[in-house]
Amino acid sequence: MILKDKTSLVTGAGNGIGRAVAVRLAKEGSTVYVNDVSLEAATSTSDLINEMGLDAVPVASDVSDSIGVKAMVDRIAAERPGLDILVHCAAIQTEAAFFDIKIEEWKKIIDVNLNGTFNICQACARVMKENEVEDGRSRGKIVTMSSIHDVIPRLNKFHYDASKGGVAIFTKELALALAPYRINVNSIAPGAIETPMNRNVLADETVKKHVEGRIPWGRMGYSEEVADLVLFLVSGSAEYITGDIIRIDGGRSLFNG
Ligand SMILES: NC(=O)c1ccc[n+]([C@@H]2O[C@H](COP(=O)([O-])OP(=O)(O)OC[C@H]3O[C@@H](n4cnc5c(N)ncnc54)[C@H](O)[C@@H]3O)[C@@H](O)[C@H]2O)c1
């Protein structure tokens, strides 16, 4: 159990990648605060973890609400001696052709995906920088979720992809700002992963085959595979890795077709 006595916060953990991450961290001994905008979704994940005899607490909050985020993180800091790990998975995605995107839709995606990343990272880093650790050791680990489409363009996801490009450069700048405090900050850039976010792809065998045809590995990824990478990044084995964007995509970003 490599995360014994650690406290983690996983956002967007009611579904998909966040849910798999929350389970993985709890299995390694961490207490996991399971965040989602939906209390029902957060509770379904924390119940799953608690039923395994492991430690999880549901916390509902919308990451785009800076006041709610601060209250959530303050509550965790009051309940536990410190916050060691943030894995920020919460995000939303919609699809629209360029001339059809309404400014309200654009703002909503940026607000949740990019502003939400700022809110949660600032609130958590404020707590992490006070963690007491042995000389030179990491005070905390932050992992954000960008996307391979932070740099690879495609059609009809302008707002989502712009938000993820923002998350990628924000992550690098944050790594610079937090290095003096010995807080590791990295981002994972997944390709196509089988989660509710991709429900439209999963529901249509023809579309799914088309997506898989562009992935050299020949299939979409699984949330548990992303969770394994998260575990490495938040472990003591990754103390000297910071400011990196790590792709996990079955080779999709190598494919130019
Ligand atoms: N699935 C993929 O193929 C893929 C690819 C690249 C990047 N990503 C990124 O990985 C992360 C996880 O994606 P996923 O596929 O598991 O998504 P998902 O839709 O399956 O789950 C996202 C969760 O976030 C929650 N959420 C949405 N808005 C929120 C808010 N404002 N505050 C708190 N929680 C909120 C949702 O309720 C949901 O439970 C996201 O950042 C996503 O952009 C996913």
Q: How far lies 88's CA from each of 47, 100, 141, 236, in Å?
A: 20, 29, 11, 19
Name the average pLDDT for the chain. 97
**Whether residue 257 has pLDDT greater than 80:** no
Residue with the nearest Cα to atom 9 of ligand 1? Answer: 145
Give the tens place of pLDDT for each residue, 188-201. 999 999 999 999 99
pLDDT for 90: 98
- Between the CA of 137 and the centroid of ligand 1 the distance, in Å, is 31
- Compute the distance between CA of residue 61 and CA of residue 159 in angstroms, rounded to an integer: 23
- CA atoms lying within 13 Å on the CB side of residue 73: 25
**Whether residue 136 has pLDDT greater than 90:** no
**Whether residue 234 has pLDDT greater than 60:** yes
Query: Residues 6 or more apart from 38 whose CB is under 8 A from it?
Result: 14, 60
Asked whether 18 lines ligand 1 (CB < 6 A), one says yes
SS3 (DSSP) at 242: coil
What does the pLDDT average to over 68-83? 96
Residue with the nearest Cα to atom 23 of ligand 1? Answer: 12
Secondary structure E strands in the chain: 7-11, 31-36, 56-60, 85-88, 140-145, 183-190, 245-248
What does the pLDDT average to over 97-108? 96
Ligand 1 pocket check: which of 197, 229, 249 to mutate, most ligand atoms within 8 Å of Cβ? 197
At 17, list the tokens.
């990648």
pTM tops 0.95: yes
What does the pLDDT average to over 222-247? 98
Which phi and psi (to 5°) does residue 227 adopt? -60, -35
Mark whether 160 is an active-site residue: yes
Q: Which residues on neighbouring strands pair with residue 145, listed in sequence order?
A: 188
pLDDT for 128: 98
Q: How many CB atoms lie within 10 A of CB 217?
A: 12
Asked whether 73 lines ligand 1 (CB < 6 A), one says no
Asked whether 11 lines ligand 1 (CB < 6 A), one says yes
pLDDT for 144: 99
Confidence class for position 145, pLDDT limits 50, 70, 90: very high
Q: Which residues on neighbouring strands pair with residue 31, listed in sequence order?
A: 7
Give the tens place of pLDDT for each residue, 165-176. 999 999 999 999
Q: Cα Rg for the chain, rounded, in angstroms? A: 18
Q: Do residues 14 and 42 make contact, with C-beta atoms less than 8 angstroms apart?
A: yes
pLDDT for 255: 79
Give the tens place of pLDDT for each residue, 14-71. 999 999 999 999 999 999 999 999 999 999 999 999 999 999 999 999 999 999 999 9
Domains of the chain (ranges; CATH) run 7-249 (3.40.50.720)
SS3 (DSSP) at 203: coil
Asked whether 69 lines ligand 1 (CB < 6 A), one says no
